[in-house]
Amino acid sequence: MGLELYESHETDWMILEQASEVGGTWRENTYPGSGSDVPSILYQLKQRPYLQWSHKYAGQKEILCYLKSLAEPIKDKIKLSEKVISIEFINKASHWLITTNKGTWITRFLIMSMSPLAEPHIPVIQGREDFTGPQFHTSQWPENLNYKDKKVAIIGSGASAIQCIETIQPHVNHLTIFQRSASWVMSKKNQPILHNNRFFTNKLLFNFFYLFNYCIQEIKVLFFINPVLMKLLELIQKRRIASLIHNPELRSKITPNYPLGCKRIVLSDHYYQVVSSSNVSVHTSAIQQLTKTGITLVDGTYIEADMIIYATGFIHDQHIPIQKITANGLQLKDVWNLKRSAYLGIFVKHFPNLFLLVGPNTGLGHQSLVFMIERQTRYLNKFIKYLLKQKVKEVSVKPHKQELYQQMIEVRNPGTVWQKGCQSWYVNGKGENVALWPFSSLYYWWLTKDYNKNDFEIRL
């Protein structure tokens, strides 16, 4: 968003960043094997491409470097170590009052760009304080940690767990995986990129290659919105697991018991080979307690461990990790506890002059999230230009427009794989998908190609 404003020659804006440097999730998640599961060519701004990716799927260090390069032109507009505590809309002045750890800010228009997956989730386990070795979340990986020849326990089996497992396994004495439910793991086919390839030096060919990869990803939506097609893919995947895992007991443990796509699909080229290694064991029994030197399971099994890694995801009860966002006597968290909804994932009724990036139901299960971010920032850039030109004091989406939009989402959701009964951060307590876009990204492009001022209540 900052680059959109910068390139539009807007000057009166500021970014508040709670961390001491930019980078977001790629600044925090430095665990071994951390990287993207979206092709590198799509995991970047199309107008500001990085032409030197080393692999088809970029690693954490490369992505962080790219993000820092994007921030360089606007670094003077970024206020670091500025943690937002509360946000309140002042009706009389038609502006937002933002309180941070360093003071207050006043702004006419407020854009919220905060990840709902920011606060690590560490399970409550009896005896955690008794364990004498290192224990930490994957997003809080200790610098210079030595895991060579150690007995390592990893709790979790999602994307971060699998990336970490296949990276550290060759170096540890023994790796014990504690798994509540298995992940569907599909082949990644990651490979180095040859930089004498003309796709990365010729703009026309680069655009063609970008479009080709976009279309390949976009086709995948047909499986997510059609459970019958996904079931066929699931059968193929089960046969793949059977061909790679010959031990029946292990195969039973790591074959998911829920539909493919219901939770996040993980990509890996080596995971099934790794879990079959002699220095890896998988336990599905629940953890009873930690001791000074290991972990006791409810079935009585005891496993020694030198360190414990929590690959247990993030707290996702609130889409925005700020407790106090108030407007017109309403708290956003209370509104969203009843129904998490936003028009285009950007506008929330009764919250004037508030714009969201990657709001409810604008995540993607099949395509690069960067595409959605680019659509939203371009849409907002045009819309804000209009608001400034017209000297608008307040703008908010018409309630019935948001309700019709939400109805469209809710009618579509039951026909997708995400609402087929499994528990994931995609769904709320009622089993409703509140995170992912249940259509093609091309359809979102159509909805956001331009704003319609008739969708909004505007006060001059």
- Please name each of the domains of the chain with its CATH number: 2-18+81-119+316-459 (3.50.50.60), 128-183+220-310 (3.50.50.60)
pLDDT of residue 199: 55
From 65, 55, 139, 94, select the one nearest 460 (Cα to Cα).
94
From 384, 315, 316, select the one nearest 346 (Cα to Cα).
384
**Least confident span in 92-101, 104-113, 116-125, 444-453:** 116-125
- Extract the tokens encoding 253: 């443990």
CB burial string 48-59: b at 16+ within 10 A, e below: ebbeebebbbbb
> Cα separation of 122 and 128, whole Å?
10
Which residue do the tokens 């990790």 mark?
321
At 278, the pLDDT band (50, 70, 90 cuts) reads very high
pLDDT of residue 319: 65
> Cα separation of 194 and 167, whole Å?
23
Contact 336, 325 (CB under 8 A): no
SS3 content of the chain, % helix, strand, coil (to 5): 35, 20, 45
**Least confident span in 28-42, 157-171, 196-210, 393-407:** 196-210
Interacting residues of 130 by C-beta distance below 8 A, sequence separation 6+? 290, 291, 292
- pLDDT tens profile 378-435: 999 999 999 999 999 999 999 999 999 999 999 999 989 998 878 888 888 888 899 9
> Cα separation of 395 and 458, whole Å?
5
Residue 422, sorted as left (phi over 0), alpha (psi -120 to 50) or beta, turns out to be: beta
At 318, the pLDDT band (50, 70, 90 cuts) reads low
User: What secondary structure does DSSP assign to 65-97, as a single string?
Assistant: HHHHHHHGGGGGGEETT--EEEEEEETTTTEEE
pLDDT higher than 60, residue 196: no
> Cα separation of 6 and 353, whole Å?
20
At 81, the pLDDT band (50, 70, 90 cuts) reads very high
At 9, the pLDDT band (50, 70, 90 cuts) reads confident
Mean pLDDT of 287-315: 95
Contact 419, 354 (CB under 8 A): no
> Cα separation of 381 and 402, whole Å?
20
Residue 382, sorted as left (phi over 0), alpha (psi -120 to 50) or beta, turns out to be: alpha
Burial class for 76, CB neighbours closer than 10 Å (0-12, 13-18, 19+): exposed
pTM of the model: 0.92
pLDDT higher than 60, residue 120: yes
